[in-house]
Chains A and B, each alone.
Chain A
């Protein structure tokens, strides 16, 4: 799945960029598309995204298209490393704090409180396993919009889930469930949207209730989808070595581009 997406994103991106460059060389566009550069840091909410400025007349569109693709690839690589470097400090801080909370018995207390829910969501994770605490901390941080704290807890949770995994290179049901809940996270305080709206001079409050409702819907969908898909033979526990086009995710392929 990821292999195919990887190939197609790269293939379509480059081929389309090439084609567009050729076409624009023959038919100069009326309004050239602005080139956007962005730092894909999930963590910082107050990014001053550059809105496209005044149209620039491109001298050689074909060369420009190639340059855009090259810049995009190199910038992405650089940005990835920046993200990781920024993450190091935050990871160290939060994993340290989490360890203190664990040693004080707080995480276990929280896990005990929510045990029925955790049992139902993650049947393969034994009661009192450290993965439970880390997952709970991650989900709570996500709900409050604390991205900086959520990632370290999430990575810690993955490491703990990996301890329970017999096939180290294959995701377990619990990992899939955890990620589905994480990415569809119920959001009480959508910090980044609030920040962007107040920056644009709008009413920052308006969409909060709607976001809460929409994320509740998507989380319910995530749990149902993860349950249903885990039972399909295509995603069985020990899949055969991947043959191109044989992983049978055809029903889901439409949403995945």
Chain B
């Protein structure tokens, strides 16, 4: 049953764009819009916007990548695992759950890094995609967004420098999403 729903959802998502385009041009045809001209009016904006965000993107991605390249995440995981063992926590489930920490922290920073970490959990002999850990990691990945990247790009496009409460609000939302993902991981799987 669930497979059918997913199959259907995937089909829908593949057809969304072509059908939306069709709907738009048919609607425009009925309304008698000069669509070729109006397409060009909108399209002329596209280039400028895409080029304008470049400096903002470089600024944010460089610091994020340098931070990730320092190896801090991997070490923090070892330290925590050692600390837990030292404290006498023997449950492998708890120690395994630490594998999710780097994913939780890297997802708001970098899509590429978090994808790499997710694939690592999937490829691990002990875990795999259908283990509790793999499923929880999938939930975490799907319920958050690369927040820093999105904020940099969107505000870059309009040259806004002072973002006020945007970042804290987005990070609170990410935190809630991650927490919900972990709780659901324990409840569902």
Q: Residues of A at under 8 Å CB distance from B? A: 1-2, 5-6, 9-10, 12-14, 16-17, 20, 33, 35-36, 38-42, 47, 49-52, 65, 68-69, 71-73, 75-77, 79-81, 83-85, 87-88, 91-106, 144-146, 149, 151-152, 154-156, 158-159, 161-162, 165, 168-171, 175-176, 179-180, 182-185, 187-194, 196-197, 199-211, 213-215, 217-219, 221-222, 225-226, 229-230, 232, 234-235, 239, 242, 249, 252, 255-257
Question: Is B72 in contact with A226, judged by CB distance below 8 angstroms?
Answer: no
CB within 8 Å for A47 and B112 given contacts A210-B181, A211-B143? yes
Residues on B with C-beta less than 8 A from A14 are 66, 70
Q: Which of B66, B145, B151 contacts A10 (CB 8 A)?
A: B66
Query: Can you give 16 contacting A-B residue pairs, CB < 8 Å?
Result: A38-B110, A41-B112, A69-B66, A73-B65, A80-B57, A81-B58, A85-B50, A97-B39, A103-B38, A106-B23, A144-B12, A149-B17, A169-B162, A191-B13, A200-B122, A211-B139
CB within 8 Å for A96 and B42 given contacts A176-B166, A183-B147? yes
Residues on A with C-beta less than 8 A from B112 are 38-41, 47, 49
From residue B40, how far is it (CB to closest CB) to chain A in Å? 7
CB within 8 Å for A36 and B113 given contacts A76-B65, A104-B33, A105-B31? yes
Closest 6 CB pairs between A and B?
Answer: A202-B129, A99-B42, A38-B112, A218-B177, A92-B46, A72-B69
Number of cross-chain contacts by CB at 8 Å:
416
Interface residues on B, range: 35 or more
